[in-house]
């Protein structure tokens, strides 16, 4: 992708009415489509979606396939895709606008700042779909299921909120199980290393991202863990 094409997508994403951005971790302020600061913490339903419904996040959403498809399948819920890479997240935001999916929104920011943009108990569920497993030594704290991130999720999830992880990485799958087992405030509801070896436990697992399709072509197994986080 050329630099000009990337910059054009960044500009378009910033202008979409279903999209918000933050670039400065030291100043966690969101910008709306007009480039103005907007405070949505605790107000996503009232200010953006204009109605009350459970809010579900897709973290490291990439092109936003899960956000868009879940919004199609579950119109009674609100979905927000979160990623820092604007040229990717642009695609999901554009599709949601084209299909008039009013229950889908997108947030371009670093996930390290996620608790700056949602109030305690504002989020019902979190999906983490094919995140970077950060397999190199010394990178464990950057994994999206490390205690470093679970502490952030705990601040925004409702009581006993649900977290879903879908990954092709054996290392991340096993690491996540270890983290959950070591935390008495986490309860595993379901864990399967190879979800396509039998019937799918959750219909939403049918959704396949761009990266998952590549992983399947390479013969990789897809793992899934669902767990609850208490305060």
63 to 59, 95, 108, 209, 212: CA distances (angstroms) = 11, 10, 12, 8, 12
The residues with which 83 forms a beta bridge, in sequence order, are: 108
Under a CB-based contact definition with an 8 Å cutoff, are residues 195 and 222 in contact?
yes
Catalytic residue check, 132 = yes
Catalytic residue among 132, 168, 183, 194: 132
The C-alpha atoms of residue 118 and residue 123 are separated, in whole angstroms, by 7
The C-alpha atoms of residue 194 and residue 200 are separated, in whole angstroms, by 10
Give which of 124, 104, 28, 103 is closest to 61, Cα–Cα: 104
- Catalytic residues, by residue number, are 132
């Amino acid at each position: 992708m050329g630099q000009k094409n990337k910059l054009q997508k960044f500009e378009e994403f910033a202008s979409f009415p279903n999209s918000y951005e933050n670039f400065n971790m030291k100043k966690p302020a969101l910008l709306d489509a007009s480039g103005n600061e907007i405070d949505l913490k605790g107000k996503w339903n009232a200010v953006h979606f204009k109605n009350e419904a459970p809010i579900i996040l897709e973290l490291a959403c990439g092109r936003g396939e899960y956000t868009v498809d879940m919004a199609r399948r579950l119109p009674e819920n609100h979905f927000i895709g979160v990623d820092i890479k604007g040229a990717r997240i642009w695609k999901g935001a554009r599709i949601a606008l084209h299909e008039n999916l009013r229950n889908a929104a997108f947030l371009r920011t670093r996930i390290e700042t996620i608790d700056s943009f949602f109030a305690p108990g504002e989020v019902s569920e979190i999906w983490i779909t094919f995140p970077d497993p950060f397999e190199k030594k010394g990178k464990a704290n950057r994994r999206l299921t490390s205690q470093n991130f679970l502490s952030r999720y705990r601040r925004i999830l409702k009581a006993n909120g649900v977290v879903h992880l879908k990954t092709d990485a054996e290392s991340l799958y096993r690491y996540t199980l270890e983290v959950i087992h070591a935390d008495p405030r986490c309860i595993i509801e379901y864990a399967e290393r190879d979800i396509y070896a039998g019937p799918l436990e959750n219909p939403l697992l049918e959704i396949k991202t761009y990266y998952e399709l590549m992983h399947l072509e390479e013969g990789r197994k897809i793992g899934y863990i669902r767990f609850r986080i208490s305060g």
